[in-house]
Amino acid sequence: MIEPLLLATTRISTFDGERILTAATGFFFERDARLHLVTSRHVLFDEPSDHRPSRIEFTLHTHPSNMSAVAQVGVPLYRDGVAVWRQARDSSGEVDVAVIPLDATAWPAGAVLHRFTPAHLLSSLNDVEVGAALLIPGFPLGFHDALHHLPVVRQACVASSFGTRFQGLGMFLTDARTHRGSSGAPVVMRSARGTSSLPWLLLGVHSSRMDMRDRDMQADESLGLNCAWYADILMTLTEPPGSASAHRG
């Protein structure tokens, strides 16, 4: 029995043509029968580091009882010169979350995955307290169960006032050991209020580690804190095509 949370999370590889660039994490989110791949926006485009992949691939399991059976699904990031992903801004600027609409009809037969939905989002911010236990499934440094193509999971907790925009941004902090490759991972809390098939609340999207710019690199350890963007941004990003509240990358 494979935990549904692990099958809702997938490994992403970015490419410039045929040249592989980076590895990251993503997860599936479905709204009104429209399926999306969610990850960090900087996985798809990051101007400061000049990261400009032309396409991605993600891993999809293809047999319900044989987790070693997988296919790589390729998605071009531009169509006729226009980005296919959707990103968003809020009152403080760019939000480091992006969604890519997926066409499951083009997938191999027998695809095995679980999906987060709007039912997995919080209905009240009062449901989460500082210190609440969380999980972050992902692919740190690309590490994973390479035979069964499953992510590993880090334990975390809510490290800032939940529901408050940390430093005025649409994010909260988590306390967990994370690495490159975890960008785009779902940040979840166990709850029977999710769904019976995926009993988790989706609180956020892991983005990056948080540190102090003036930390003494020799004398002081890293803070060990991470940024997670509030998951309710997905309701903006997955609105029907033509909505003005989200825009192409």
Report the CATH number at residue 202: 2.40.10.120
Q: Structure pTM?
A: 0.92
Domain that holds residue 108: 4-248
3-state SS, residue 249: coil
Q: How confident is the model at residue 108 (pLDDT cuts 50, 70, 90)?
A: confident
- Taking only the tens place, the pLDDT of each residue in 127-153 is 899 999 999 999 999 999 999 999 999
Q: What token pair was written down for 149?
A: 């193509």
Structural domains in the chain (count) = 1
pLDDT of residue 61: 95
pLDDT tens string 33-84 = 999 999 999 999 999 999 999 999 999 999 988 999 999 999 999 999 999 9
Of all residues in the chain, the percent with pLDDT exceeding 90 is 73
For residue 88, how far is the Cα from the chain centroid? 15
Phi, then psi, of 168 in degrees rounded to 5: 80, 5
Residue 14 has what pLDDT?
Answer: 98
- Band (pLDDT 50/70/90 cuts) for residue 201 is very high
Cα 160 to the center of its chain, rounded Å: 20
The 10 Å Cβ neighbour count of residue 227 is 21
